[in-house]
Structure 1
Amino acid sequence: MTVALTHADILSVRDASRRMVRELGFMQPTLAETDLPSSAVHAIIEIGNHGTMTANRLGKVLLLEKSTISRLLARLIERGLIEERPSGTDGRAKILSLTPAGHAALGDINRFANLRVGKALHVLTGAARQRVVGGLADYADALEAVQERRESASSAIEIHEGLLPGAIGRVAEMHGRYYAREWGMGSFFEARVASGLAEFSQRLDRPVNRVWLALQAGEIVGSIAVDGEDLGDSKAHIRWVIMDDGLRGTGTGRRLVDAAVTYCDTQKFPETHLWTFKGLDAARKLYEAAGFVLAEEWSGDQWGQQLTEQRFVRKSSA
């Protein structure tokens, strides 16, 4: 007999997950009695467990985008904990492995983690211990299955560089629908998006300007643009970042942002700026993961109502 999932079940698992995160130290700036952040500790564990890995594979395992992985690996290489060498089969790939110092760090991490987990399991009775061991494995498998479905949906989406017929209207429509529903904005906002994108479309023949569209079965479901002219001083401006309602959380937004920041680095813009609103928390996490930092915020009404606007800046990693 199938037992129905209840809201109480969800709240109970969320509460247990938060307590585990806190008790295991993931809220702290370093992890496992090292001076390393949790992402670096996990990178060392995964590379050590696999023996060798590519940066692309490590990013998929840790669920981190390419720019974040690049910065993480640069720090670990500088610390002498990992090393990289060219792949014998793919000239574009680098093979990662632990150095002797990295293996020593992995040993310390494993000893600390085994002792910590062992002490907790020792408190439980035999039956409870088995429920925890099996239940946690099942829960982790379920989380991975959800992520795999998201990645599958995202992989079916093509990232297209350049505008397509109908793109100006479609991008304006996506903005208009989302911001009307979530922020109460009217036609004034949608018209500003449409007119701005129409003007920008006439400048796409210049190498400092680019736009990318996410396509699903030929339909436009997302967009992002780099405007290298309107800010002056050789600064790039990321504009018109939007995803169709049904595709948020699939990783497609991350792919669009990655395409834009990679292009900005290729063009050697010293700084890349973007403007958004306070309260768009999911988007903010996406931007910060790509290296953007909040530079300033202020109250404004240029979009037809009073909002707390924010400006994020990303320094070039080139």
Structure 2
Amino acid sequence: MLAVTHAQSDLINQVRSASRLMVRELGFMQATLAATDYSPSFVHTIVEIGDRGSLTAGELVELLGLEKSTVSRMVRKLIEAGEIEEIPHEEDARSKKLRLTVRGKKTLRAIDSFARQQVDAALVYLTNEQQQAVSEGIANYASALQAHRLGTAPQPPAQLDIARGYRPGIIGRMVQMHADYYARHSNFGQPFESLVASDMAELMGRLHNPRNEVWVALDGERIVGSIAIDGEGEGGEAILRCFILDDSARGKGAGKRLLAEAMKFCDEQGFCATRLWTFKGLDVARKLYEDFGFKLEQEQEGQQWGATVIEQCFVRPGPVAGPLNGVGDTHPPIDLA
């Protein structure tokens, strides 16, 4: 056994202390979790099945690190409660898969909403750098704990795929990601969601123009991020739109990769400039924009989103930039990150 130095001992104690505090603050000491009537293991079962679409009982055993008998009893109770259901396994007639019912999906939405609000409230107390460190640190530590339990080497986070062009479901997912994030960040509601839905649908209807394009970040087949270029702006400008990431995609470099694809497209098309509208206070997104050459050009108060905000216009000159148009649109096509 390797000797543990004083520095290592202090580090271990710090990690243990932080882990205990997290367990308490996240509510795992309580009989139920995430404002449900279910215990933590039941909540995790609903979340894992929902995230993956369907799972076998055996896969749940490995994911949750529980005994087969414990998982079997838990699955039976969730089936009886109407949260999950058994469906035939497409590759093994002797096996069954588990998926969420309509009720289960409703429960999952409530769990996700509670958890997002809990995390979002805590992140307010951290700087942008601290938020990134927390995201990466927790992911690495969790991966190491799992690797130790399974006796395997830690697996790096799965790389998200970036795909170009329209695909079924893209409009709905873009709207959902915008609505979820900005309801929490800016208290936007139905007016904002409806406006985004209208704008996204209109833009997707113009993708036949080669000057317009959209990209998505994919986790398997699930869309977890998007960005689009509207190449029909005034004076030969492009407008960057639909830039958004699902919470599950943050901290994985997807935003930078999406923006890189969009900027490469803009340069290839020879737009004189690329313009984007966003809101003041989205500091992580602003730094990313500025890293790609965008500069703040204008700020103005906007109220058409359901709440009063400070809108910001950023502009990135093209490869051969000409005179830029003035900004006078009081209802800009918003593109949010």
1:127-138 equivalences under 5 Å are: none
| Alignment-derived partner of residue 166 in structure 1 | 169
| Letter in structure 2 aligned against 1:316 | G
Aligned match of 1:291 in 269, 290, 293?
293
Partner of 1:4: 14
Superposed structure 1 runs of 4+ greater than 6 Å apart: none
Displacement of 1:317 in angstroms is: 3.0
What is the identity, as a one-letter code, of the residue corresponding to 2:14? A
1:84-125: CA deviation from partner (whole Å, max 9, x where unpaired) = xxxxxxxxxxxxxxxxxxxxxxxxxxxxxxxxxxxxxxxxxx
Aligned partners of 1:298, 1:196: CA distance in 2, in Å?
21
Report the 3-state secondary structure (helix = DSSP H, G, I; strand = E; otherwise coil) of the residue aligned with 1:164. coil
| Identity rate, percent | 47
Distance 1:253 1:296 in 2: 23
Partner of 2:328: none
- Matched residue, 1:272: 274
Match of 1:225 in 2: 228
Q: CA deviation at 1:177?
A: 0.4
Which residue is 1:314 aligned to?
316
Partner of 2:188: 185
- 1:304 pairs, out of 303, 306, 327, with 306
Write out per-residue CA displacement over residues 124-154 of structure 1, whole angstroms, 9 at most, x where no aligned residue: xxxxxxxxxxxxxxxxxx98x96xx9x953x
Give the secondary structure class of the aligned counterpart of 2:13.
coil
Q: 1:241 aligns with which of 235, 240, 243?
A: 243
1:124 is matched with none
Q: State the one-letter code of the partner of 1:269.
A: F
Distance in 2 between residues matched to 1:272 and 1:290, nearest whole Å = 11
- 2:190 & 2:305 partners in 1: Cα distance? 10
SS in 1 for 2:234: coil
The one-letter code of the counterpart of 1:246 is S
Distance 1:297 1:164, change over 3 A: same
Tell me how far apart the structure 1 counterparts of residues 302 and 186 of structure 2 sit (CA, whole Å): 14
What is the identity, as a one-letter code, of the residue corresponding to 1:3?
N
Aligned-residue offset at 1:302:
1.9
Q: Which runs of 5+ in 2 are unaligned?
A: 1-8, 19-135, 144-154, 321-337
Cα deviation, residue 188, structure 1? 1.1
3-state SS, counterpart of residue 3 of structure 1: helix
Once the two structures are superposed, residues 249-283 of structure 1 have per-residue CA deviations (whole angstroms, 9 ceiling, x without a partner) of 21100000000011000000010000000000000
* Other structure's SS at 1:4 match: helix
Secondary structure, aligned partner of 1:221: strand
1:64-85 Cα offsets, whole Å, 9 max, x none, are xxxxxxxxxxxxxxxxxxxxxx
Q: How far apart, CA to CA, are the structure 2 residues paired with 1:182 and 1:271?
A: 29
1:4 deviates by 2.9
In structure 2, how many angstroms separate the alpha carbons of the residues matched to 1:301 and 1:165? 32
Paired positions, count? 180
For 2:278 and 2:247, locate their aligned partners in 1 and report how far apart those are by CA, in whole Å. Answer: 18
Pairs within 5 Å for 1:208-223:
208-223=211-226
The SS at the match of 1:214 is strand
| Match in the other structure for 1:36 | none
Using the TM superposition, give the Cα deviation of residue 305 of structure 1 relative to its aligned residue in structure 2, in angstroms. 1.3
2:303, 2:317 → 1: CA distance?
28
- Cα distance between partner residues in 1 of 2:251 and 2:287: 12
The CA RMSD measured in Å over matched residues stands at 2.5
C-alpha distance in 2 between matches for 1:182 and 1:286:
18
Q: CA deviation at 1:204?
A: 0.2
> CA contact under 8 A between 2:301 and 2:311: conserved in structure 1?
yes
SS at match of 1:273: strand
Please give the secondary structure, in 1, of the residue aligned with 2:265.
Answer: helix
Structure 2 counterpart of 1:195: 198
* Matching of residues 79-98 of structure 1 within 5 Å: none
Q: TM-score, normalised by structure 2?
A: 0.50
CA distance in 2: counterparts of 1:166 and 1:244, whole angstroms: 15
Gaps of 5+ in 1: 8-141
